[in-house]
A and B are shown apart, each in its own frame.
Chain A
Amino acid sequence: MSTIFPKWFNKLPPLILAGVLGGGSAAVAGVWYYATPKFWRVGYMPSQPFLTSDYEDVLYREANPRVPGVTYPGFSHQIHAGKLGMDCRYCHSHVEESPEANIPSASTCMGCHAEGHVDEKFARPAHLRFVRDAWANDESIQWRRVHKLPDYVRNFPHNVHINAGVSCFSCHGNIMEQEVVHQVEPLSMSWCLDCHRNPEPHLVPRDKVTDLYWVRNQFRSTKLLNTASSGLGGLDSGTPGGAALLNGLREHDLHLLPENCGACHY
C-alpha cells in the first residue's frame, strides 16, 4: 500500500488548501489592485503631438522626453501654462461654454509662432516645424488624447464644472508643471462620485479656476494636495470660499450635484 501513496502525500491536502487559498487571495488582490483605472490609466503620457516618424526621429535625436530635466521638443505645457503663465482659456477657448475643452487650431498657435514672432533662441524652428507645416498645408496638427472617458459616459460637461468653481487642477493636476501632459487622476466612477459627494474641498472662486498656481497653493495649505505626488490625496477641509460656493449651488434643486446614473450614462 505504502508504495502507492508515499508518506508525504499526507501533506498534500493542506498544501492544496493553502495553495488554493493563497492563489485565490493573490488573484483577488491582484485584480483589486491592478484592474483599476488607477493602475492602468494614471501616468499615461504619450508624446505630443502625434508626428510622422521621420520628423519624430529628428526630435528624438535632440532629446528624450522621458529623461527629467531635458526640454521636450514637442509641445510643452510647462513652458506655456507654467513658465509663460498663459491662461488655460487662451488655447482651450470654449471650455466655459462648451461641454468639450477644445484643442486650439493651428491658427491659434501661429498667432505667436509665425515666423519672426518669437525669438528663435527660445522657440527653435526645428521644434516649431510641425506647427508651421500644418499651417502651410492647411492640415490638422494631430494631438494624442490623454484624458479619455469611456464611450458609455455620454455626459461630462467641462462648462458646468468650470462655472461651478471646479478648477482644472482638480482633474488634470499640475498641468503647469508637466512638460508632457500625463493623466494624474484615475477618472474612474468612484473618483467622480467622491467629489460629487463631498465637493467642498475642490471648489474655488470662479475667477481662480484657471489660476493653477493659486489653486495648487490652496490645495497644499488645506492638505488636499500631497506635496510628494501631483495627485490629490486626503480631503481635510475646503478651500476658502468653498463652503459658500457649495451653499450657492445647493440653493436650487437644479444646481445640485447629480449622483444618479442618468446624469452621465445614456
Chain B
Amino acid sequence: MSIDQCHSTVGHLPAAKPRETPHELVGANGRAYWRGLDDAADTPEFRDWLEREFPAGASMINGETRRTFLKLMGASVALAGAATIPGCRRPDHKIMAFSREVPEDMVPGKPVYYATSMPLPGGGAEGLLVETHEGRPTKVEGNPNHPINRGKSSLWSQASILELYDPDRLKDPVYVPSGADVPRSWKDFAVWSKQHFARLAERRGDGLVFMVGRKSSPALAVMRSRVEERFPRAKWFFYDAAGADSAIEGSTIAFGKPMRESLRIENADVIVTLDRDLLLHDDGGNALANARGFAARRRVVSGADGMNRLYAVESAWTVTGSKADHRVRLAPSQVGVFAVALARELVRQGLRNAGPLGDAVNRATGAAGIDAAVVSAMAKDLLAQRPGRTLIAAGPTQSAEIHALVHALNNALGNAGSTVHYRPMTGAESMTADEAINGASSALAAGAETIVCIGVNPVYDAPAGAKFGEMFARAKERIVASVGDNETVAAATWKLPLAHFLESWGDTEAADGTLAPIQPMIAPLFGAKGELELLAMLAGEESLDGYEIVRTVYRSRASGADAGANFEGWWRRALHNGVFAQGEAPAAGGLSGVHGGAAGVMGRIAAAMNKWESPRAPGGNSLDVVFALGNVGDGRFANCSWLQELPDPLSKIVWDNAAMISPATAKRLGIEQTDPTDKKQKGRMVRVTVNGASITIAAWAVQGIADDTVVLPLGYGRTVCGHVGTGVGFNVYPISAGRNRRVARGAEVVRTTVGAPWYNISTTQSHGSMEGRAIVREADIAAWAAYGDDPFKGLTAEEKKHLTIDAYGQERQLNFAERMGELAHTPANVNAYDNPQRGLKDAPVIGGPKPTAAASGETGTPPDFAKNPQWGMSIDQTLCTGCNVCTIACQAENNIPVVGKIEVNKGREMHWIRVDRYFTSHDRHDPNPEVAHQPVACVHCENAPCETVCPVNATVHGPEGMNYMVYNRCIGTRYCANNCPYKVRRFNFFDYGVKKFNGDYIGRGAMSAIKADPANVNLIPPRLRERLDEITKLQMNPDVTVRSRGVMEKCSFCVQRVNEARIEAKLKGMEMIPDGMVQSACQQACPTDAIVFGDIYDTKTAYTNADGTKRTGSRVHAMRSSGRTYQLLGYLNTRPRTTHMLAVRNPNPELISAERKRMWDHPFGHGHGGNGKAGAGHAHGPMMFDTDKAEQDAGYRLSLSVLGAHA
C-alpha cells in the first residue's frame, strides 16, 4: 500500500501509451537525447515516474505497510521513553579556552590551512591544502603549489576527510592469541614485538614476510632498507591489487627496465586511448594533470579557436571515452588487435622511424571486426600532425606487448619527450600485483611464520587461485596494521590501528617526481601509529617519531644551499609550501638516455611483437571481462559513504557494482532487465565463471559497453569493512587472476537458478529528467567555426528579426548557442511571474553591462541587481568530463548528508550539484552513443519560480542575485521543489544530517521480533536510525548549518565563502571583491576549470592571470559573453544566474555521417528535428511541444496557451 501525499500527480493523468517515437526526446539539432534505456523506451512506468515531482514512494512512508509502520513507531516510542524529554532549564554552554599553550598562528573563529599530500593507491600523489578549524580538519583542497594538483583535487582526496573521521576505524591494538580478541596497548605490542622480532633477527629474517601497500615514498623506501638490513632474508612485497601490471611489464619490454609514463596532454593535437581512462582513474596518479592538459586544448572562445581530437578505443565506459570525439567500442582483447591494426596502417601510410617494428606488425594477422575505415582515418589523422603533437596511451586491460607497441608508436611519432615522458620506476612501484600476491602466498606456503601487512587487504582482494586466505591462516603470527577494519585484519593475530595520512608524518613522490611532505593535521584519533613509525619499531630503530624519521631522510638528501645550517629554514619552507622539490624537468631528446637508445627500444619491441598472437574475438558464451575501477577504488574506500553514494559517472549506479554488459549481449544471453512480477527495471542475478572460479552478481545492461564483454567494478562486496561498506555490492576479485589482473578471457555468464533471481539496483540515472527540451546543446567545431562569431550569417534582415530575445524588456539578438534552443523556436517570453526589470529603459542584458541604479526603479522593491557584486556561475560543458568531483567537494563543504541505497531509489538523494549524463545519437538504439555531461545545481534564477510559491518566505532573493534558502523559516511544504523547473531542490525527508544512514538503530532487539529480516539495515526507517557518532560530527563545516528534517535545501552558491570574502574585503578596506577571491567549492575542485563563479558585472577591473597574461573583467563575465553561453530553460524567463556553455566536439570529417556533416552548414536545426510535421523544426515550428501530450493533458495545454503557443 502506498501513502502518496502528492494528490496532484495521482489519478489525474490518463495512462500514457508507449510511443514509437518519443517526440520530446528530439533535441534542437535533430539528435535524440536520453538518459537511460528506460527513458529511450519511454515505457508507461517511466512516464508515470517522470511526471511526479518526487518519484512514487519519495513521499511514501518507507514503502512499508501502515501496520508495520505503526508497529515500528510503537516500538520506537516505547524505547525512546521519557528519557528523551528534554529538561526545561537553559542548558549551560561552556566555552573551553586554551590553557597554557596557545598555538601562535591560530585565531579562534578563523580557519588555518596546512599543506600536506596524499599518497595515491599504486603510486603517485596529490598535493593538498587542508582547512582546519581550531585544529580540526574539515575540508581538503588541492595545493596550488603542487604541480599535479595546481589547486584542484580528486574524488579520493576530497573524500579522505570523511575517512579520517570514520567511527569504524581500528582503535588501539588488539591481540588475538587464541580466537578471542584481547585489547592491548602499543606498549604491549612494543614489548611483544621486541622479543619476537629479536628472535627473527637472529635468523636474519627467515620466515618473515612483509606486505606493504604500493606507494611512492622515499621515506618508506629508506625504512624498507632499514628493515631489510635487520632482516636480510625477509621477503618484502609492495602490493596494489588494482595496479596496472601490464604497463610495468610493457615498459620493461620497451626500455629494459620499468618506466613510468608522465603525460603532457596539453602538447597533443590528436590523442588515441586504448582502454585507458586518462581523465579520472588513470594508473600512476596523473589523472588531474591529464584532465587539466586535455581541457587546456578545449577552451574554445571564438570561432577561430581550434581544439584537440580524442579517439577512445575502449570496452567499458570511462569518462575519457565519454569525452571522446570518436569512441570505438571493442572487447578488451580486440582493443589490442585494433592497436596492432593501427600500427600496421601507420606503417602502411608511411610512418617513419618504425624500424623493425614494421615487419613485426605486418606479420601479426587478424583484424576481423575492426573497422578498417576508422583505423585508416585515425592513422591518417595521426600522421597529419607535426611530430610530437600526438599521443597514444594504452590502459591496464591491454597486454604488456600492446603497451610496448604503444611505446614504439609514440617513439616513432616523435612523442617521446614531447607529449609523453618516461621516468624510471622506484622499486616500490615496479612490483606487479601478481608477483606480490603469488610471492607472498608461496612464501607462506613454504612455512613463513610471521607476516606483517601494512595498508593492504590481500585476504579480500586476492584471486581465488592464489589461495591467499588459506595460506595466511597458516602463519603463526599475523600482524596487520590498517586504517579501517578489513578482511585481513579480521584474520590477524595482531590488529594494529594505522594512522590516516591526515594524522601522520610521511612523504610522497608524485607522478612527475615532485616530492611533497605528509604532515599531520591532527593527533591520531584512535591511538593509531603511522606506517613509518611502525616499521621503525620493527626495524629496531631508536627514533620512533615520524617527524624525526622524515626529517632525517630529507636532511641527508639536502644538498647545496639547503644543507647544513640552512636546512632548518629550507625544511620549514617546504612544510609551509607543501613541496620538498619540484619534479625534475624531463630530459630532452626522448629516449636517448634509455638503454640502447631509440633503436634499442624499437628492436626490443619488435622482438616482442614478433611473438604476439592475435587473440580470438570473444563470442558465444566465452566473454571478455574487464575489471574496472570505480568510486571506491580497489575497495579501500568502501567504507566512505560519500563515495558509495556518488553515482558512477556513466551507469549512475549508487551503492553497488553490477556486471555491466551491452543490451545486445544481454539479449543474446537471455538476461532480461525487467522483473516480470512488478515490471520494474532490476538487475538479473548471473553467475560469471572464469577458469573454474565463479562469482554471483547482478547484471545490468548499459548502452555503449562493448558487446561480448562483462565489466566488473572492483572494490565491492566487502565482508569486513564497517557499517557503511560491509555487504555493499559483489566481490569480483575471486575471478581476477593471471599476469594481468585487470582483464580476463573466456568468461561464462549464465542466469542463476538458485536464490533470488532479481536484485534491486539504485541509480540516479533518470531522476529529474527534463522532458527532452534543448537542455544539453552540442555542436561540432566546424559549425562553431562557421557560425560561432556570427550566428546570423546568410540571413536576411527580415529573418534576423525573428531571432531576438526579449531580455529584461530589451531586444537582443541570439547568440550561437541560443539559436540552437527553444528561444529560436518559441514566441516571445510570457511569464506568469512579473519581472521587475521588464520595460525599463536601461535594464540589464545577459552578458551586458551592470544596470544603473536609476534604471532599476526604487530600492527596496524586488531585487534590482544594481548593487555590486552580482554573483553568477558559468559551466562549460565542453570541459566537463563528468568526473563528479564537484559533487563530493560540495558535499564536504556544505555538510550534505548521505541517505542510503533505498532512499536514493526513492529519489531522495541530497546532492546539491548533480552531473546529468545524457546519451545522444541520431538513433536511440545506437549501441555506441555519444555522451553529454551536464552539471546542474540551483541556477539561482533572477525570476525564481520557487520564491513566488513559498508561503513563508523561506526562499527569497538577495540583492546580489542569489536565491537564499532560509532553513529556519522553512516549514517543508515542498511547493518550491514542485515549482522548480530544474529539479535541484532537495528535501530532507528524515534527519539524514544527524542520523547514521546505515548502522545500528534504536531497538534492534525489538525490531527483530517484528521484522523477519532485521539484518538488512537498509530497510530500517531513517527515523529509527542511530544518531551520528560524535567523531563524524568533527568533519562538519562550522560555517554551514547542519539541516534538520523537514527542511528544503539546495545549492547556496557557497554563500558562506562569499560572506567570508566580503568580510575580508571590508576589513582590508577594499571597494570590491576581486575576481577569484571567492571560489565555490565545486569550482575550486573542478580539475578542468569547467565551473567558473564570480561577479557577472565585473567588466572593467584589470586582472593578471596565473600565467602572467592580463585580462579585463571577471572570468565569469567573459564566459557569459561567449557565443556558447545559453540559459537552461531560458524560454521560461527564469533568468538563471548559472549559465551553461554549449559543448563543442571535434569529430574527424572522414568518420561522420553525411547527415551530421550537413549540420555543419545548418547547425540550427533547419530541415532537421521537429516531430515530422510540415514546417517542424523551423524558426517558429512547434518542435519543442509534445502534441500527444497536449491532447492528453489539460495542464500542459494550458501552459502552452500561456506561452502563446498552439501545439
A residues contacting B by CB (< 8 A) are: 44, 46, 50, 94, 97-100, 102-107, 134-135, 137-145, 148, 150-152, 154-155, 157, 159-160, 163-164, 252-256, 258, 260-263, 265-266
Q: Mark B1054-1080, 1 if CB is under 8 A from A, else 0.
A: 011001001101110011110000000
CA distance A137 to B959 in the complex (A): 52
B100 at the binding interface (Cβ < 8 Å)? yes
| Chain B residue, CB-CB nearest to A102 | B108
B956 interface hit (Cβ, 8 Å): yes
* A170 to B700 CA separation, bound complex (whole angstroms): 65
User: Are B92 and A98 within 8 A (Cβ)?
Assistant: no
A250 to chain B, nearest CB (A): 12
Of residues 950 through 976 on chain B, the ones whose CB sits less than 8 Å from some CB of chain A are 956, 958-959, 962, 964-969
Check: B1202 CB closer than 8 A to any chain A CB: no
Closest to A164 in B: B1066
Which of B99, B968, B1063, B1073 is close to A140, meaning CB atoms less than 8 Å apart? B99
Q: Are the CB atoms of A143 and B97 closer together than 8 Å?
A: yes
Chain A residues with CB below 8 A from B962, complex form: 262
**Which residues does chain A contribute within 8 Å of B752, judged by CB atoms?**
none
Nearest-neighbor residue (CB-CB) of B954 within chain A: A261
Determine the interface band of chain B, counting residues with CB < 8 A from chain A: 35 or more
Contact with A along B92-104 (1 / 0, CB 8 A): 1111111111100
Closest to B1065 in A: A254
Residues on the B chain within 8 Å of A144, using CB: 92-95
* Contacting residues, chain B, for A151 (C-beta < 8 A): 1041
A100 and B109 within 8 A (CB): yes
Residues of B close to A94: CB separation below 8 A: 107-110
- The CA of A252 and the CA of B1055, in the complex, are separated in Å by 20
B12 in the interface (beta carbon within 8 A) = no
Contact status B1067-A163, CB under 8 Å: yes
Q: How close is A124's CB to chain B, nearest CB, in angstroms?
A: 22
Q: List 30 A-B contacts (CB under 8 A).
A: A50-B92, A98-B110, A99-B110, A106-B98, A107-B101, A137-B99, A138-B101, A140-B99, A142-B95, A143-B94, A143-B96, A144-B95, A148-B93, A152-B968, A154-B1039, A154-B1040, A163-B1066, A164-B1066, A252-B1071, A252-B1072, A254-B869, A254-B1065, A254-B1073, A258-B959, A262-B962, A262-B1052, A265-B968, A266-B964, A266-B965, A266-B1059
The secondary structure that dominates the A interface is loop
Give every chain B residue within 8 A of A135 (Cβ-Cβ). 99-100
CB distance from B976 to the nearest CB of A (A): 14
Q: Which 10 A-B pairs have the closest CB atoms?
A: A100-B109, A105-B98, A145-B93, A262-B964, A140-B96, A152-B968, A98-B109, A253-B868, A103-B97, A102-B108
Specify which chain B residues have a CB less than 8 angstroms from the CB of A44 in the assembled complex: 90
| B867 on the A face (CB < 8 A) | yes
Known contacts A159-B1067, A252-B1071, A266-B1052; is-contact A142 B96 (Cβ 8 Å):
yes
Shortest Cβ distance from residue B1169 to the other chain A in the assembled complex, whole angstroms = 41
Chain A residues lying within 8 Å of B110, measured Cβ to Cβ, are 94, 97-99
A99 and B1063 contacting across the interface, CB-CB below 8 Å: yes
Chain B residues with CB under 8 A of A148: 93
Which of B869, B964, B1072 counts the most chain A CB atoms within 10 A? B964
Contact B108 A254 (CB under 8 A): no
In the bound assembly, the distance between CA atoms of A99 and B97 in angstroms comes to 16
Docked Cα-Cα span, A156 to B969, in Å, equals 18
Q: Which residues of A contact B958 (CB under 8 A)?
A: 260-263
B interface list, Cβ under 8 A from A: 90, 92-102, 107-110, 867-869, 956, 958-959, 962, 964-969, 1039-1041, 1052, 1055-1056, 1059, 1062-1063, 1065-1067, 1070-1073
A157 lies within 8 A of B98 (CB): no
Known: A98-B109, A106-B98, A142-B94. 15 other contacts (CB 8 A): A94-B107, A100-B109, A102-B109, A107-B101, A144-B94, A145-B94, A152-B967, A152-B968, A157-B1063, A252-B1071, A253-B868, A262-B1059, A265-B967, A266-B1052, A266-B1059
Count of A-B residue pairs with CB < 8 Å: 143
Provide the residues of chain A in CB contact with B98, threshold 8 Å.
105-107, 140
Cα A182 to Cα B662 in complex, Å, equals 71
B95 touches A104 (CB 8 A): no
Q: Which residues of A contact B969 (CB under 8 A)?
A: 261
Asked if residues A150 and B968 are in contact (CB atoms below 8 Å), the reply is yes
CA distance A56 to B1055 in the complex (A): 44
**Cβ–Cβ contact B94 & A50, under 8 A:** yes
CA distance A104 to B1059 in the complex (A): 26
A253 with B1039: CB separation less than 8 A? no
**A86 CA to B1204 CA, complexed, in Å:** 72
Main secondary structure of the interface of B (DSSP, over half): loop
Cβ of A138 and Cβ of B100 under 8 Å apart? yes
- Assess the B109–A260 pair: CB atoms within 8 A: no
A residues less than 8 Å from B93 (CB atoms): 144-145, 148
Chain B nearest CB from A145 CB (Å) reads: 4
Q: Is the CB of A107 within 8 A of B107?
A: no
| Contact (A106, B99) CB under 8 Å given A160-B1067, A254-B1072, A265-B964 | yes
From residue B1053, how far is it (CB to closest CB) to chain A in Å?
A: 9
With contact pairs A98-B110, A154-B1039, A154-B1056 given, residues A145 and B95 touching in the complex (Cβ less than 8 Å): yes
The chain B residue sitting closest to A162, CB to CB, is B1067
With A140-B96, A252-B1071, A254-B868 known to touch, is A160 a contact of B1066 (CB < 8 Å)?
Answer: yes
Nearest A residue (CB) for B108: A102
Q: A144-B93, A254-B1066 are in contact. Are A265 and B966 (CB under 8 A)?
A: yes
B1070 & A254 in contact (Cβ 8 Å cutoff): yes
Contact B109 A99 (CB under 8 A): yes
* A98 contact from B90, B108, B868, B1052, Cβ within 8 A: B108
Which of chain B's residues have a CB closer than 8 A to the CB of A256?
Answer: 867
* B1059 and A263 within 8 A (CB): yes
- Residues from chain A with a CB closer than 8 A to the CB of B966 are 261-262, 265
| Chain B proximity of A110: nearest CB distance (Å) | 8
Complex: chain B residue closest to A105, CB-CB: B98
CA distance A107 to B101 in the complex (A): 8
| A154 / chain B contacts, CB cutoff of 8 Å | 1039-1041, 1056
Cβ–Cβ < 8 Å partners of A258 in chain B: 959
Q: How far is the CA of A104 from the CA of B96 in the complex (A)?
A: 10
Is there contact, CB below 8 Å, between B1041 and A266? yes
Query: Nearest chain-B residue to A97 (Cβ)?
Result: B107
**The one of A97, A138, A254 that contacts B1062, using a Cβ cutoff of 8 Å:** A254
In the complex the two chains form, is A107's CB within 8 Å of B867's CB? no
Instruction: Find chain B residues with CB under 8 A from A159 CB.
Output: 1063, 1067
Q: Chain B nearest CB: distance from A264 CB in Å?
A: 9
**C-alpha spacing A44/B89, complex, angstroms:** 12
A139's nearest neighbour on chain B, judged by CB, is B99
Complex: how many Å from CA A154 to CA B1036? 13
Report the separation of the CA atoms of residues A265 and B1047 in the bound assembly, to the nearest whole angstrom: 14
How far does the Cβ of A247 sit from chain B's closest Cβ, in whole Å? 15
A235 to chain B, nearest CB (A): 20
Give bound CA distance, A117 to B44, whole Å.
85
Q: Please name the residue on chain A nearest to B863 by beta carbon.
A: A260
**When chains A and B are docked, how far (Å) is the Cα of A184 from the Cα of B1070?**
34
Residues of chain B with a CB closer than 8 A to A150's CB = 968
Contact B868 A105, beta carbon cutoff 8 Å: no
The answer to whether A260 touches B1062, judged by C-beta atoms less than 8 angstroms apart, is: no
Question: In the complex, are the beta carbons of B1056 and A155 less than 8 A apart?
Answer: yes
| Minimum Cβ distance to chain B for residue A148 (Å) | 6
Do A107 and B102 touch (CB < 8 A)? yes
Closest B residue to A256 by beta carbon equals: B867
How long is the Cα–Cα vector from A262 to B867 in the complex, in angstroms? 15
